[in-house]
Amino acid sequence: MPTRVTLLTPAQLAEAFALNVHTIIAQTAGLTHADSLRSSPFALNWVVGHILVNRDRALALLGEAPRLREAERTCYTPEPPQLNPEQAVRFDHQLQLLEHGQPDLANGLLRLSAKDWTREVLVGERKLTLAARLFGLYTHDTYHTGQTEVLRQQIEIPSFL
Amino acid sequence: MSEAHHLADSLERLFSNPASGVFAPFINVTDGLTAAQAASVPAPRFNSVWAVVNHIWFWEESLLRLLRGESATPEALGATTEHGWPPAGSATDEAGWQAARTRALATNAELARHIRSLSDEEITQPLEAWGTVRARAVLSIIAHDSYHTCEIISLRHMQGWWVEGTPLT
């Protein structure tokens, strides 16, 4: 039996994703592209790029277009994370992609029927409902949203870096 | 398997299963620290790992008590405000640090056990103290755990205490 998360509605999940965007925008207010490359050991720029890669997975599941171009995506997928500053997406552009991608994510979610919501998807060898898969992507989104709080604090304390 | 059972599994798997598969869970990211490390902050204004552990525990314990029909005031849970930040312990209190970590894990397990015991009808009942229904409260706790777990990873990384097996995700 596939893992389910059906008590959450698509509309509620859209709201939850939106709250993360709101949090990230608030956490990063006033930070420059150079700031986004300064935090250590991981650049805030990498974390936001990683969040965008993750959101593109959700958009793909919903039949929506990804926000990052392929060349941009490859900057944020290596493990362990290694970001070449010269290849980094401009931070203000990252934040725009995040904000502008949210309506597509929400629309894709709101289009889902009850049958869509509970259809099975494969993640590796695991069978999940679409709802469970999207909820997993949301927890990942939230996980790294928590990281942006600490990295912003780090950037704001010059003596730390 | 009931909906409540699925929710409980997610709550527990993302917190205390070392092989959760989605990201490094709480049990991994709080492992291997001394009390001095857990109580340390990388710079002024940052949280310590211990404070975050207590904060995570506070909200899981609050939900558990409310689901049981008990009261859950900040004061009863060691916090001074409704934001839920019981203070970290002393940097020399090894037993206290281990107890704080163990308490958080135990509460997570107990919360999951309690949720599993609820019927599908019960899990959709209102949780008035939080202005939502029980299922959504559980989902918000899963999100809250996730948010602060990655905060702990960053606090560790900044101080040079790498988390084994975490290329960040």
Contact call for residues B107 and B60 (beta carbons, < 8 A): yes
What was the ipTM of the complex prediction? Answer: 0.81
What's the pTM? 0.87
Query: Which residues in chain B have their CB less than 8 angstroms from residue A146's CB?
Result: 146-151
CB contact under 8 A, B147 and A150: no
**Residue A1: pLDDT above 50?**
no
pLDDT tier at B20, thresholds 50, 70, 90: confident
Nearest-angstrom CA–CA distance, A151 and B41: 14
pLDDT level of residue B48 (50, 70, 90 thresholds): very high
Helix (H) or strand (E) holding A77: none
Tokens at A62, concatenated: 């919903």
Q: B28: Cβ–Cβ under 8 A, 6 or more apart, which residues?
A: B18, B163, B164, B165, B166
Alpha carbon distances (Å) from B58 to A1, B75, B100:
34, 11, 11
User: Who among B7, B142, B168 is closest to A42 (CB)?
Assistant: B168
Q: Tell me whether strands B132-133 and A126-129 are parallel, antiparallel or unpaired.
A: unpaired
Distance CA A1, CA B19 (A): 20
User: Over 60: is that where the pLDDT of B22 sits?
Assistant: yes
Q: Which residue has the higher pLDDT, B161 or A91?
A: A91
Mean pLDDT computed over A109-124: 93
A74 pLDDT above the threshold of 80: yes
Q: Is A142 on the interface with B (CB under 8 A)?
A: yes
Please tell me the distance from the alpha carbon of residue A156 to that of residue A154, in angstroms, as a whole number: 5
Q: What SS3 state is found at B167?
A: coil
Chain A residue with minimal CA distance to B156? A41
The pLDDT-based confidence of A7 (bands split at 50, 70, 90) is low
Instruction: Give the type of residue at A111.
Output: R
Instruction: Find the residue in B nearest to A46 (Cα).
Output: B168
Nearest to A149 among B1, B151, B158 (CB): B151
Which of the four pLDDT bands, split at 50, 70 and 90, describes residue A2?
very low
The backbone torsions φ and ψ at residue B57, rounded to the nearest 5 degrees and listed phi first, read -60, -45
For the ranges B43-47, B103-107, B149-153, which has the lowest average pLDDT? Answer: B43-47
**% of chain A exceeding 90 in pLDDT:** 66
Grade residue B65 by pLDDT with cuts at 50, 70 and 90.
very high
More confident residue, A158 or B124: B124
Q: Which residues of A touch B169 (CB under 8 A)?
A: 50, 79, 140
Question: Omega before B167 cis (within 30°)?
Answer: no
